[in-house]
Every structure is written in C-alpha cells, then in structure tokens.
Structure 1
Amino acid sequence: MEQEISNPAISDILNEQRLKNIVYPARLFRTRLNEEFLRANRTRRPFLFIKVYSHQYDFFGWGRPSRIVEKTWRISVLTMFSHLRFIDVLGYLTDESGIGIILLNSDMNTLESIRKEILHKLNDAGLIQALRHKPKSPIFQAYIYTGLQEKDNLEMDEALKKFNSTNGSFFSLERLNLDHIWQHPHKIKYRHAIKRLVDVSCSSLALIVLSPILLFCAAAVKISDHKGPVIFKQTRVGRNGKLFTMYKFRSMYVDAEERKKELMAQNETGGKTFKMKNDPRIYPFGHVLRKFSLDELPQLINIIKGDMSIVGPRPPIPSEVAEYEPWHRMRLSVTPGLTCIWQVSGRSNISFEGQMRLDNDYIRRDGKLGDDFKLILKTFKVVFKGEGAY
C-alpha cells in the first residue's frame, strides 16, 4: 500500500487516537467516496464528507500560531475522530494536505452534535476564550449528500444557510457535487483552460462573422410578432446548480408560458422537459428558427460571459431540475453548452431518460478536446439537415 505524505500534526493525532479504522491512501479513499456517492443514489441514505486540513490552525485568524490555537485545533479534530464508527471511512486527501472522513448515515444533526461536544471539551480545557475571535476559515470543510430528488435538496438549502450562520467556527457545509469527487489529472485541468480559451475566441469570431444573420433574425422576429421582445431571456441552471440568464431569439408568442400548462398532457419527451412537434405557441418564423437552431445564436454571448461552453449538456430550467433524480443531477457537474451528444443523436426525438444518459456519457469522457471538435462538426451536419428539431 502506497505511503502518504502527511503533516506531522495529522500524523501525531492519528497515532494518539490509535484508530481502528483503516487510513486509506488518497487514490483508494477517492474510490470509496465515489462508491458511497453512487450507493446513496440507491439507498437514499445521507452521508457526510469532511475534510480536515493539517495546517488549519496556522491561519485560524487568531494572530500568530500559539499553544492555545494549536490545542483548540487538536481538541476539535480529536473530538471529530472520536465519532468514527467501524462503518465510517478515513483516508488521505488527494492534495496530501490532510485527512478525509466519510460519516455514513449522517446528516446536519450529526455535525451539530459534534459541535456541541467540541464546545463542551474546550470549556473544560479552559480554551473557550479562544473562540471569541471568529476564525477566518472553519476547522472542517463538510459536504452533505442525500441521494434524494432535487426538490428535496432545494428545501434543504435554507437549512444549510442557517447551519453555516451558526457554525462558522467549526464547519463550512455545502452540498456534495460530482466535481468534489472526480479528481481530474493536471493535464485535464489544462484542457479546461484551453477549452475556455477556445470558447471565448471562437464565440467572439462567430458573433462577428454571423452578424448579418443575427440582424436578419432579429428583424424577422420583430416583424413576425411585434408585441414581444426580440430576445427571450430565461433563467437556466448551470454548473453545480448556479442560476444564470440564458438568451435566445424569441420563437414563441408572448403568452407561451401561460399556455404551457394547458399543453402539458401532450408532452412528447416522456420526462421532465416539455416538447411537442406541433406546438401552437410557436409562430410561423419561429419554426424556421428552431429547425435550424438559429434561435440559439444569442447564446454565444452566454459563452463569452462564462455561463456556457460551446460543447456541454444543455442548460435546463429550474422547474425541470427540481424533478431530477440524483443521477440526473450528475449532468450539472460541468458547464452547460450549445451542443452535446444527444443534440447530434436525434435531438428532440430522444426521450428524456435517453438525454440524461447521453449527457452523463459525455461527462465521463473527461472533456477531451478531440471529442468536442467531433461533436461540433456533427452539429453543423445535423443543423443543416434540420432533423429532430421542434
């Protein structure tokens, strides 16, 4: 088993505690974390992933490191370790800066119980005065994963904010996302930087080259239905659930959203998204815009802003995301895009579940630029044919 390089502060605590738990090497610990992530999707039982940094007390914010600061840190960490059960998982973090803990079948109540015990022990040790100055960084970075439908997680967001407002000295708590688990090698991180450079340069060039088409589309939209705006702005869900405003040429009548409820029974995707071939809310020229994806051209601005990429899963609307199953949300772990696998594999003719699987398949490819280039070429071919768009 590989040896891990750890700060002596962590090593001393591990030896002092004499834990019965195996301390996994970083690679195996990452594998276990991924396994628990997938298991929670099936069992719907929450777990906590907690990072303990060995250098934490060095920048607590209480001035220079002192015996009081170090002792406070040690008591806090030892208290955390005392809550480990034989079913829990302990291992080194990939960046070799500390230890990771997976507390199975645990939630915010578990963290609150640990916090109260830490306070009690600090009080007994006469160190409670050290907490009068709020630390710059919490002692523990904690992540919670429930495996529940997204609408249940959205209800939990307010509870997370409340928890963080009262536990700032000990925990920073947020929802666990896929990119907290999947650790890309450095060369892939460079790919992401290159991809961003390609996105900005190509989108800027496209706006200039396509400006005559953009002006024509804008004029045609205004003439076709002068009552509404040329650009349709809609809130979409981006990477890790971040909301942003997406731009499109308006292809529907201004009362489209109000009429949607009347048409839900005719949804042809069999899932959370709404699509129908002969949608009466689309005005005549709007069908042309959609057939050749001209309505999507204003999203070049979203790409330049960083909300989107050229290639990536299409950004959903919040009401769709609220109905997501846990494995559906995996597609939100990357920046959304103009085109992806299912856009070149049948477009709207593919069922909702099929779209989700194809998007997740793209994520597993680790953002290879060669694959992105192939998808862009296929997109041109599909757009010119106009198949599967409605």
Structure 2
Amino acid sequence: MEQANVNPDIGSILDEQKLKNIVYPARLFRARLNEEFQRSNRTRKPFLFIKIYAHQFDILGWSRPNEIINKTWKISVLTMFSHLRFIDVLGYLPDSNGLGIILLNSDLTKLENIRKDMLHRLNDAGLIQALRHSPKKPIFKAYLYSALQEKENQEMSSRIDEFNSMGGSFFSLSRLTMSEIWQHPNKIRYRHFIKRTFDLVGASCGILLLSPLLLFCALAVKVSDPKGPIIFKQTRVGKNGKEFTMYKFRSMYIDAEERKKELMALNETGGKTFKMKNDPRIYPFGRVLRKFSLDELPQLFNIIQGSMSIVGPRPPLPSEVAEYEPWHQVRLSVTPGLTCIWQVSGRSNIPFEGQMRLDNNYIRRDGKIADDIKLILKTFKVVFKGDGAY
C-alpha cells in the first residue's frame, strides 16, 4: 500500500530496500498498534513501538544536511529495517513525515542490540564523526510497553534513563502511554479546546455560586477538628501518570494516614483502593462532607489549574497505581475528573474491578460534551441522595 504525501526521503528508502513487510497506511497502522496493546495485555509479552523521522532533511533537524549526514541517517534507518522480522508491523505515521515500527515480543535488550549494531555499521563506514553534528530531534523515538504491573514498570525507569544517557543524538526512549495508542476525541484540537473551555467556565461559575457553601464548609471543618488544616492536600496521579496535588476539605483526623495500615484488612472495595463504611478515622462532620461529596468542592480549583476536568476518571493515589494491572492503566490516558460513570452508578458500592471497567467505558466514548453534561446532571441527583458515599 502507498501513502499519499509521504516524506520523499522515507519513500525512496522504502523503494530501495524492497521490504517484505506490508507498509500499512496510518489509520490501519494505528489500529494494529491498538491490537498489539490488547494482545500484550493478554500474553504479558512486551513490545517496542519505534517512530522513524527524517528530521535532518528539514529546518527542525540538521540545519545544513550534507552527504556525510545523509549517509549516516540512511545507514541508521537501514540497520533498523534489517532487524525487522516477518511478524513485526510497519506503517506510516499520521503526519506522513515518518514510519512506525512495532517490534513484537521485544524489550529493552532488543533495542540495545539494535543500537550497538547501528554504531558498528556507522563505524565500519567511517561515519562516526557525523555523530558530532547532532540533530536537534532524535531520528528514532522508541516507546516500550512491558505489560507489567505499574510498580514493575517504575523499577524499569532507571534502565530507561541509562539508555537515554547513552543514546546520543539518534534515540530517545520512554514508556508507552495510552495517548500514543488511542486517538481519543479529546486529542482532536477543537474538541480539546471545547472541553477545556467548558471546564474553565463551569469551574469558575461553580466557585462563584458555591462560595457561601465553600466558606461554611471551611468554618465547619475548623470548628469540628481545630487541630488540623482546613484543606487536605494529597498527591494524586493524573494524565499519563503525571502526579499533582489534589485539594479536599479535610474529613479525617490528622493521624488518618498513620492509622490506615492498621485498617487495610478491613478494605471493602476488594481492590487497590481503600474504602470502609464505618471508617473510624473520619470525624463526625467529616461524614456529612463525604455523604454529600462536599469534601470534593475544592477540586474546582484543580480544574482551573488544568490538572483535573469536571468529567473524567477519579485521580488515584500513587500507591494504588503501583498495583495496577496493564489494562487498569488505560484510565490514566485522559485528564482525571470530579465525576465519571461509576460515580453515578453506585459510587463506593461498586467494587474496584467494576470501577476500572466503567472508567474505561467512558474513555472509549466519542467525547461529546452533551454526554458529559448528562453525567453532571446525574451526579447532582446521586449526591443529593447521598447513596454509596463513605
């Protein structure tokens, strides 16, 4: 298959190489990437996703390409192609400026071997000196998906950092995030702009309209338990695993975190999150805050900051994310929110696995603002009834 408007340098090297692999058009290549992600989650076998760009041929890369630079780039790309197997997947990237490669059942060791082979071939051709003329952007952007629990992924970070420190100008390596796999509607510029505008307007109006309630809750927290702060600040995990500080009205005694370890055996969610109906760490007025979700109101300021959205999966704790299975990590591909599907479908009465599936269902939707508005209206009804909150 041919791709219209492909970068001519990419096209010429494909014609010259006469690859046996099918070169998928961009749309089908993205579909194959999604399939391999699903397969990897089932088999627990890792894969590498590599983007190849021709940066040295434009003003964003090597500003003055010459014959040595061109040969260096060509040998590097042909070396990458030489490691392709029949089962591997090759396709065009959406911007038509490069190619994508999916190396199946491959890990960091495979990528290190490719890099060593590349350096040997450049050295044999007497082109190592071309490495001194560094491109401003890497030719190869590599992403590793391990299909492991998140805590095992985090342990791999040091190896990734070590690889990047030795990668020179040609490679950059990072963990594969869901935003590279799915073309979620919120990534489409105008929809992202509409959703962000909706969040800013909605949160701003909410702060203005609810300011008397916010002030009352703040005073009530201070009177109920004067020893601790009014606002509880907690580190949560946002989009693509980026951590941020989330704000809540404090609903627990100040020693709540220390006492949590003693209560873990009483966890009622059956999963990574911790919830119990009669949590002794919650002071009396804190139960009122939680029953009607008033403790969440300060997160309107998180929405203004951009770390949260009005509608989206609830932001998890880092300790919870560390225990995530690969398919759980899908919920980290979008901006977390105040409310989502499981908040209007039973709240804390829904077990952990059910929460994950409902969040993933939201992410797979088409991202229409009208659907978000329906969820917000359902949230008001659920919060007023106070069912499932503890």
TM-score, normalised with respect to structure 2 = 0.97
Post-superposition offset of 1:189 = 3.2
- Residue matched to 2:254: 254
3-state SS of paired residue (2:206): helix
Post-superposition offset of 1:186 = 9.1
Distance (whole Å) between structure 2 residues aligned to residue 312 and residue 293 of structure 1: 16
- Residue matched to 2:178: 178
2:153 matches 1:153? yes
- Residue matched to 1:72: 72
- Residue matched to 1:163: 163
- Residue matched to 1:109: 109
The residue identity in structure 2 corresponding to 1:207 is I
3-state SS of paired residue (2:156): helix
Contact kept? 1:251, 1:289, Cα under 8 Å? yes
Distance (whole Å) between structure 2 residues aligned to residue 186 and residue 250 of structure 1: 32
2:194 matches 1:221? no
Distance (whole Å) between structure 2 residues aligned to residue 4 and residue 147 of structure 1: 34
Post-superposition offset of 1:133 = 3.5
Distance (whole Å) between structure 2 residues aligned to residue 360 and residue 284 of structure 1: 35
Unaligned runs of 5+ in 1: none
Deviations, residues 40-68 of structure 1 (Å, cap 9, x unaligned): 00111111011112344435754412111
Distance (whole Å) between structure 2 residues aligned to residue 103 and residue 39 of structure 1: 13
Cα gap change, 1:28/1:317 in structure 2, threshold over 3 Å: closer, same or farther? same
- Residue matched to 2:4: 4
- Residue matched to 2:333: 333
- Residue matched to 1:346: 346
Distance (whole Å) between structure 1 residues aligned to residue 78 and residue 188 of structure 2: 36
2:97 matches 1:90? no
3-state SS of paired residue (1:316): coil
The residue identity in structure 1 corresponding to 2:108 is M
The residue identity in structure 2 corresponding to 1:99 is L
> Which sits farther off after the overlay, 58-67 or 203-212?
58-67
Distance (whole Å) between structure 1 residues aligned to residue 9 and residue 375 of structure 2: 49
- Residue matched to 1:208: 208
Deviations, residues 236-283 of structure 1 (Å, cap 9, x unaligned): 000010000000000000000011111111111000000000000000
Distance (whole Å) between structure 2 residues aligned to residue 168 and residue 123 of structure 1: 15
Distance (whole Å) between structure 2 residues aligned to residue 216 and residue 93 of structure 1: 54
Deviations, residues 317-360 of structure 1 (Å, cap 9, x unaligned): 00000000001010000000000000000000000000000000
Distance (whole Å) between structure 1 residues aligned to residue 183 and residue 303 of structure 2: 24
The residue identity in structure 2 corresponding to 1:222 is K
> Which sits farther off after the overlay, 181-190 or 133-142?
181-190
- Residue matched to 2:383: 383
- Alignment of structure 1 residues 50-69 onto 2, 5 Å: 50-59=50-59, 62-69=62-69
- Residue matched to 2:282: 282
3-state SS of paired residue (2:28): helix
Contact kept? 1:59, 1:136, Cα under 8 Å? no
Distance (whole Å) between structure 1 residues aligned to residue 15 and residue 340 of structure 2: 50
Distance (whole Å) between structure 1 residues aligned to residue 53 and residue 331 of structure 2: 29
Post-superposition offset of 1:366 = 2.9
Distance (whole Å) between structure 1 residues aligned to residue 294 and residue 187 of structure 2: 35
Contact kept? 1:57, 1:69, Cα under 8 Å? no
Cα gap change, 1:62/1:188 in structure 2, threshold over 3 Å: closer, same or farther? closer
Distance (whole Å) between structure 2 residues aligned to residue 18 and residue 370 of structure 1: 49
TM-score, normalised with respect to structure 1 = 0.97
Post-superposition offset of 1:289 = 0.3
How many pairs are equivalent? Answer: 390
Post-superposition offset of 1:5 = 2.8
Contact kept? 2:79, 2:114, Cα under 8 Å? yes
Distance (whole Å) between structure 2 residues aligned to residue 169 and residue 160 of structure 1: 15
Distance (whole Å) between structure 2 residues aligned to residue 21 and residue 2 of structure 1: 13
Contact kept? 2:52, 2:140, Cα under 8 Å? yes
Post-superposition offset of 1:135 = 2.6
Unaligned runs of 5+ in 2: none
The residue identity in structure 2 corresponding to 1:97 is N
3-state SS of paired residue (2:326): coil
Deviations, residues 145-173 of structure 1 (Å, cap 9, x unaligned): 01111111011112212211110312111
Contact kept? 1:4, 1:92, Cα under 8 Å? no
> Which sits farther off after the overlay, 378-387 or 102-111?
102-111
Cα gap change, 1:185/1:54 in structure 2, threshold over 3 Å: closer, same or farther? farther
3-state SS of paired residue (2:74): helix
The residue identity in structure 1 corresponding to 2:33 is L
Contact kept? 2:251, 2:282, Cα under 8 Å? yes
Post-superposition offset of 1:88 = 0.6
Distance (whole Å) between structure 1 residues aligned to residue 79 and residue 195 of structure 2: 44
3-state SS of paired residue (1:272): coil
Contact kept? 1:26, 1:93, Cα under 8 Å? yes
Contact kept? 1:253, 1:281, Cα under 8 Å? yes
Distance (whole Å) between structure 2 residues aligned to residue 187 and residue 274 of structure 1: 32
Cα gap change, 1:160/1:16 in structure 2, threshold over 3 Å: closer, same or farther? same
The residue identity in structure 1 corresponding to 2:290 is R
3-state SS of paired residue (1:118): helix
Distance (whole Å) between structure 1 residues aligned to residue 316 and residue 26 of structure 2: 34
Identity %: 77
